[in-house]
Amino acid sequence: MGDPLVENHDMTSAWLQNPLMKAVRREPAPWTPIWLMRQAGRYLPEYRKLRESVSFADLCKTPDLAAETTVRTVERLGVDAAIVFSDLLLILEPMGMTLEYSGDRGPVLQNPICQSADVERLGELETVEPLSFVLETVQKSRAALPDHLPLIGFAGAPFTLAAYAIEGGSSRDYRRTKTLMYNDTGAWDALMGRLARAITLYVNAQLDAGCQLVQLFDSWAGCLSPDDYRSYVLPHTRSIIESIRPDAPVIHFATGNPALLPLLAEAFGKKKSRPAVVGVDWRIRLDDAWRAIGHDRAIQGNLDPAALLTSPVEIRRRAKDLLRQAACRPGHIFNLGHGVLPRTPVENVLALVEAVHELSAP
C-alpha cells in the first residue's frame, strides 16, 4: 500500500464535494447528509451472523473483518459517510489497562484506577504501533470505499476514557470518578493530560491513515455540571482539538446534558479556520441547540434513537420536523442523538435515510 497521505490528497477533489464535507464547512449541499452512530451494530442481521463466529474484540482487531463491516454497512444503508469499525476503549489497553468485553455487562476494565496513586499505572502512549490494527482497518476501509465517500475516525474524549478507567465499567453516579476529580486535582490533571496526549496521537494517526474527519465521543460527560466541565474537562479537550491536524474537521459530541453545549463549542477555541461540528443528543430541540452553540458552527443530530422503533410513517414525520428546525441552514448533519438501538428494524433505518435525502433535496 502506498503513502496514505498522498492517496488521501489524491482523493481531495472527490470527497470535498460530498454533502457531509460541505456541511462541516457550512456550505450549501444538494441534500442534508446523514450517517448514524453505531451504524454497524447488532440491529443488522449480517453483523449478528458474523458475531456468531467472532468475538467483538477479535472483530475490532482483525482489519479485514473490521473494514468489511465498515464498508458493507455503508453500502447497505446508503448513508453519506462511513465510520471506522472499532471501539473507543481500545486505546486504554496499550496504556496498561486490562479490557474485557462481557455480553451482559459491556466493557469491563479489570484493573481500574482506584486511588490517586494508581494514576501512575497508566502508561504514556508513546507510539500508535500497538493500535496498528485500527490504522490498517482505516487503510483497508478507505481503499474499498468510493472516493467521494468520507471516512470518519474517532476516539473517546478524555473524560469518558478517564471515567471508564476509574469506574472499571458502566456507572450510574460516577462516584469514584468525581471523588478523584474533586479530591486530588493534581492526580486528575495528570490522568487527563496523559489521556489527551494519547488521544491526539491516535486521531492524527487515523487521519494520516486515510480518514477525512474525526469525532470525539464524550459519552459520559453529561453527568457533569457546566462549572465542573469547564474546570476539569474543557482545558484537556481543547488541547486535543488544538493539536489535531489543522486541516481536519472535528465533530465534538457529548450526551446527557444540553447545558454543556456552549462549552462543547468553546472547546474549538476562537479561531474559525478548522471546520467545527457540535454533536447534539435528543434532549434538546435542534433549533435551540444551534442557537446555544452559535450558527457559526455546524451541528450534528439529533433524532431520538427510540424513534426508529416506531413506523416508517412516524419516522418520516419526525425527520421532517427535525429538518424544519434546521431551517435549510447550511451546516446540518442529520444523525441520531446517540447510537442505533440493538432491536431497531433495518427497514426503519433505511426509511430514515430515504426520508432525510428526499425531504431535504430541492
Angular region, 331: left φ>0, alpha ψ -120 to 50, beta rest: left
Please state, as a whole number, how many other Cβ atoms lie within 10 Å of the Cβ of residue 300. Answer: 28
Please state, as a whole number, how many other Cβ atoms lie within 10 Å of the Cβ of residue 324. Answer: 12
Angular region, 106: left φ>0, alpha ψ -120 to 50, beta rest: left
pLDDT score of 106: 83
Contacts of 24 (CB under 8 A, 6+ apart): 213, 249, 251, 275, 276, 277, 298, 331, 333
Higher pLDDT, 202 or 104: 202
On average, the pLDDT of the chain sits at 94
pLDDT score of 7: 42
Summarize the confidence of residues 141-164 as an average pLDDT.
Answer: 97
Instruction: Sketch the domain layout of the chain as residue ranges.
Output: 4-26+49-297
At the second CATH level, the architecture of 4-26+49-297 is: Alpha-Beta Barrel (3.20)
Residues designated as active site = 38, 42, 51, 87, 164
pTM of the predicted structure, to 2 decimals: 0.94
Would you give the distance in Å from CA 247 to the centre of its chain?
18
* Strands 332-336 and 213-218, bridge-based pairing: unpaired
- At 9, the pLDDT band (50, 70, 90 cuts) reads very low
Judged by average pLDDT, the poorest of 16-20, 165-169, 202-206 is 16-20
User: What are the φ/ψ torsions at residue 216 (nearest 5 degrees)?
Assistant: -100, 120
Angle formed at CA 115 by CA 113 and CA 116, multiple of 5 degrees? 100
Mutual angle of helices 346-360 and 312-326, in 10-degree steps: 40
**Short-list 23, 104, 5, 1, CA closest to 323:** 23
- Amino acid identity at 287: D
Higher pLDDT, 106 or 260: 260
pLDDT score of 13: 59
- At 8, the pLDDT band (50, 70, 90 cuts) reads very low
- Say how far apart CA 211 and CA 203 lie, in whole Å: 9
